[in-house]
Each structure stands twice: as C-alpha cells, then as structure tokens.
Amino acid sequence: MKKVLPFTPSSRLYFADDLPEVAVVFKGDRLLVRQTAESCFLPCTFETEFAALKELAGEALCVGTFNGMECGAWEIEADCEWQNPDGTEFAEIRSAMHLMDKMSVNAIARARELLAWRQRRQFCGVCGRELVDNASDISRICPECGNTFYPVLAPAVIVAVVRDNKLLLAHNARFKNNMYGLVAGFVEAGENLENAVSREIMEEVGIEVKNIRYFSSQVWPFPNSLMVGFFADYAAGEIKVDGVEIADAGWFSPDEFPEIPRHGSIARKLIDAFCESEF
C-alpha cells in the first residue's frame, strides 16, 4: 500500500521554473477541482492546458509539497482566456474544502493566504518602497530601509458553551438561511485566547462562562484566519443578544437542534463532540 505523505509547507517562497505537479488555481472565490458526488480533488498539471496557463498568468507560486509532489498556486482574473482541462471545474472554495481531505485543505489554505498577502503587501509600510522577496524564507524585504514583512494571521475563537446538557446556539444576522452556529470572534490586542472567549460570549449573548478548555483549531483562509475552538461551561446571566451581530440565541439539546453548520467546519466538530459527550 502506497504511503500517503502529508502536505509540507515550503520554508521559502519561489516561482517554479517548470510546472508544479499539483495545481491550486483560484478565480475569485472559486477553486479549480476535479469533483465527484462525494469528494473534491486538486488537479495535477500533466494536462497541456496548464502550460497555457503559465503563459497567460505567469509562473506558479510554489507553496510546498503535496504527497511528495511540488504544489503550486495561481490566482487568475475572471476574464482570463485560459480554458481549464476537461473534467475540472471552478467550485465555490468553502463548499469544495468541505469535501476534501486535510492535506488538500492545508495546501489550499496556505496558497490562498499567501497569494492574498502578497497582493496586499507589495510596498513597504514605512517608506513606501516596493518590496522584494527574501531568498531565505517566505518574508518580503524593503530594499530601502531594510524592514522585513511576514504574513500575518488573524486568530479567532469559536466557543461551544454548555449548560445542563444543552448547547448554546446562535443565529448570526449575516447568515442567509436559518442556520444556528456557535459564538465566535477575533482575538483583540492585549488579549489571550481565554480572555477573548469570555469577552465575545459576554458581548454577543450577555452571559458569563467558566472552565474554558481548548478543543482544536482550523485554518480559515478567508483571507487569513486561524480558528481556535473551545468548550466552556455556563457560569451566570441570562441570554441577551447584542442585536447587531447575533439576532437570536438559545439553549438546545441534540434532539431539538435547528439547522447547524455542515460537516468539515470546526463549528460542526465542536457540536458533534458535544453530542458524543467528548467535551
């Protein structure tokens, strides 16, 4: 049985002289995939169409190795004349990621975040000079003042709050459907993760929590977040939604859950762990 190697990020960024063996191609909020009814796969670049892509969009940004194969990324414009290979299609990124294995998700996340960062970080924030790539790692350097810039991650917490064998579920005002999820928010300057958990819960639903404990984490490249999941126990207070970000919230047992996030998200993993009493 062939051994499956993990996705290994590159220690430095460089543009491939030759075509990489695995392609991560973005067009807006869509990703090029080979798709079946139950799975999505990143395409390999043996098709002749990828040589044409290199001519149109330039060399791929190499982001690491995928099962021992070089993995490269492109971002193309909506009106790019490239014809993607037969059997591939551009799928909505989030939907595709839910159908992919962890190795593919890691490759996509790294590619998405680095391409977005390079687009935003073209000039020095101190003197305004155009930046150049560092030859030894993934940073960019100002040739004028010497400042070095690295990709910045935005950590966010997501919390499953438990009270009397019920789970706190909230409906975010931005949700386009009637889905209920978990309270989440970005970590602010000067906070540790536990502080952020307590603050977000108080701000959005007006209750206090205790016994905060780490569960797991998940990359979330929209564009550069790291979701850090926690469980917490109810401590005091009554639910009072902020009316801005959260439109409604309540305590639910598994047999009365409303619509909840789909499988593949850390929110669903937390919810499933609650249902299986693994918290």
Q: Convert the pLDDT of each residue in 162-196 to its tens digit.
A: 999 999 999 999 887 899 999 999 999 999 999 99
Cβ–Cβ < 8 Å for 271, 167: yes
Question: CA–CA separation, 257 vs 96, rounded Å?
Answer: 25
- Give the pLDDT confidence of 34-57 residue by residue, as tens digits: 988 778 999 999 888 999 999 999
Least confident span in 63-72, 145-154, 203-212: 63-72
Cβ–Cβ < 8 Å for 32, 93: no
Instruction: Report the candidate in 66, 48, 91 with the shortest Cα–Cα distance to residue 8.
Output: 66
Instruction: Report the candidate in 114, 54, 47, 41 with the shortest Cα–Cα distance to residue 80.
Output: 54
pLDDT of residue 14: 80
Q: Which CATH number fits domain 154-275: 3.90.79.10, 3.40.50.1360, 2.170.130.10, 3.30.360.10?
A: 3.90.79.10
Adjacent-strand bridge partners of 89: 33
Q: Is 52 left (phi over 0), alpha (psi -120 to 50) or beta?
A: alpha
Q: Which CATH number fits domain 8-120: 3.40.50, 2.40.30, 3.30.310, 3.90.79?
A: 3.90.79
278: confidence class by pLDDT, cuts 50, 70, 90: low
Question: CA–CA separation, 35 vs 50, rounded Å?
Answer: 18
SS3 label, residue 55:
helix
pLDDT higher for 125 or 67?
125
SS3 label, residue 46:
coil
Q: Residue 4 pLDDT > 80, yes or no?
A: no
pLDDT of residue 31: 97
Average pLDDT, the chain: 93
Cβ–Cβ < 8 Å for 181, 260: yes
Q: Cα dihedral sign for 167, 173, 174, 176?
A: positive
Q: Residue 140 pLDDT > 80, yes or no?
A: yes
Show Cβ contacts of residue 145 under 8 Å, excluding neighbours closer than 6 positions.
124, 126, 127, 129
- What residue segments make up the domains of the chain, in order of their start? 8-120, 126-151, 154-275
pLDDT of residue 173: 92
pLDDT of residue 56: 92
Percent of the chain with pLDDT over 70: 97
Cβ–Cβ < 8 Å for 218, 251: no
Same fold yes or no, 8-120 and 154-275: yes
